[in-house]
Every structure is written in C-alpha cells, then in structure tokens.
Homo-oligomer: A and B are copies of this chain.
Amino acid sequence: MRYSLLAPCKRFRPVLYLTTLEALGMARHQGRHGALALECIHTYSLIHDDLPCMDDDDLRRGQKSAHRQFGEAQAVLTGDALLTLAFQLLAKDPSSVVGPMVGELAKASGIDGMVAGQLLDMEGNVEGGSLHQLQEIHRRKTGSLISCSMALAGHRAGCRGKEIHSLRELGSCLGLIFQIQDDILDCVAVEGALGKTIGKDLEQGKLTYPSLLGLDGAKARLKEEVNRAEELMNVSPLDPAELKPLLHFLANRSH
C-alpha cells in the first residue's frame, strides 16, 4: 500500500479537492480525510488497471508497477485494501457529511463510473472507434473521479443540490482537459519525465484524442475546453481566483 500510494506523483485529485475547499472558504486541514480517500481510490485503480489481465503495464509512477514488484496476488489485495481504506477515511469526517460524501465517491468509483470506464476502455481496443466512444470512456474512467473531487469538496463545505451540480460539471470539464493533455503527452513526452510506459496507447491501438483528431486537432480541442472551464468557473459558487492556477497547470503540464 505504501509503495504504490507514496510514490512521487502529481496528487492531482487531492490537490483539486483541497483547492476547491479553499475556494469555498474552508481550511485545508478540514479536507485531509477526503484528500487521502481520493488518492487511495486513484491508486487502487492504477494498481488493478496495470494487472496482466487488464492493461499489463510494467511501469507506474516512475517505478515497477505493483504486480511486477510484489506479484499478482499482492497487487489485487493491495488495490482492494486501498479501495476499502478510502471509505474508512471518509467515515472520519463530521457525521452530517459522511453519507453524501460516501455516496458521491462510491458512485464515481463504481459500476456507474471508473469500473465502467475500464470495461469500456478494454472493449475499445478495436479499430473504428468514434469520438463519442472515446469521450464516454474518459468521462467514466478518469473524468468521474476528477469531477467527484470537486463535488466532494462541495459536500464537505455544506453545499447543496444546484451548487454540487455545478461543481460536478466544472470538475468534469477539468477531467476532460486532464485527459486530452494526457493523450497528447503519451505522443510527445519522454519516458523518464512521465514515469510510466509511453507510446503504449498507440501501440495497443487504443482510442486517443490525437489518434482520432490528429495532434493539432487534439491541441485545438484542449484550448476549447480550457475556455469552457473558465466560463464555468464564473457561475459556480466558488472563488475562481483560487482555481485558475490549477487550470493552467493542467493544460500546460509536461508530466
């Protein structure tokens, strides 16, 4: 659990959660359980997705993937334990928000969210995939937990219906930006900088934004989404100044 969870990486979901909390007027320390829970869920999903029966990846976060380091059985169990720990951590938040937070995180991670995304992703390893199919995969596989990071902060800060909905929508847009840039980096980055196997998407014939739209088309699409995110920030209940640096990091990151 420590090996996979504590390896150097961006911590994008916890950072997004904590930044959103601050933009909603709360203190960072009030978000420590939620931040840890999000990173546990993300890490579990990487461990299971890397398994030989799934994407069969050898490298993750700049080191051997969990099953390469400890064997398959340990990797499956480590993922299970991290997934479970996420909910154990959320249960420590104040009782009035635990129910909505657990519900939000479970919906984003489970069969309506990340699990469905991974299933679609594996089935999508065929030629003739469409942009619609790609978006559906991303919306669930990576988008749902990123979107959830913002909604979770909303619940933690006591937001309700419409506010939570607009946080989810903005988070979903940030998730799309994250993924398009991820696909672009898989084409152009250097292995050492990214900390995972690169060029793998193309090699496996996976659907990506550059494979469907060309590299320039993907970059143009990224720009459109950044504009949309800036608009969404102005109508949501939060202070946009807190979130803009994160948006620009996302769109311009090189790792």
Interface of A is mostly: helix
Counting chain B CB atoms within 10 Å of each CB, which of A51, A80, A85 scores highest? Answer: A80
Given contacts A91-B103, A91-B106, A100-B91, is CB(A111)–CB(B73) below 8 Å? Answer: no
Size of interface on A: residues with Cβ below 8 Å to B: 41
Q: Does A109 contact B (CB under 8 A)?
A: yes
Q: Is the CB of B83 within 8 A of A84?
A: yes
Q: Is the CB of B115 within 8 A of A80?
A: yes
Among A75-114, those with CB < 8 Å from B are 76-77, 79-81, 83-85, 87-88, 90-93, 95-96, 98-100, 102-103, 105-107, 109-111
Q: Does A191 contact B (CB under 8 A)?
A: no
Q: Is the CB of A107 within 8 A of B79?
A: no
For A71, list chain B residues within 8 Å (CB): 53
Which of the residues B72, B77, B90, B115 comes within 8 Å of A81, measured between beta carbons? B115
Q: Does A119 contact B (CB under 8 A)?
A: yes
Instruction: Tell me the smallest distance from the CB of A49 to a CB of chain B, in Å.
Output: 10
Q: Does A48 contact B (CB under 8 A)?
A: yes
In Å, the complex CA distance between A95 and B101 comes to 11
Which of the residues B81, B83, B102, B115 comes within 8 Å of A98, measured between beta carbons? B102
Contact surface of A with B, Cβ cutoff 8 Å: 1, 44, 48, 51, 53-54, 71-74, 76-77, 79-81, 83-85, 87-88, 90-93, 95-96, 98-100, 102-103, 105-107, 109-111, 115, 118-119, 122
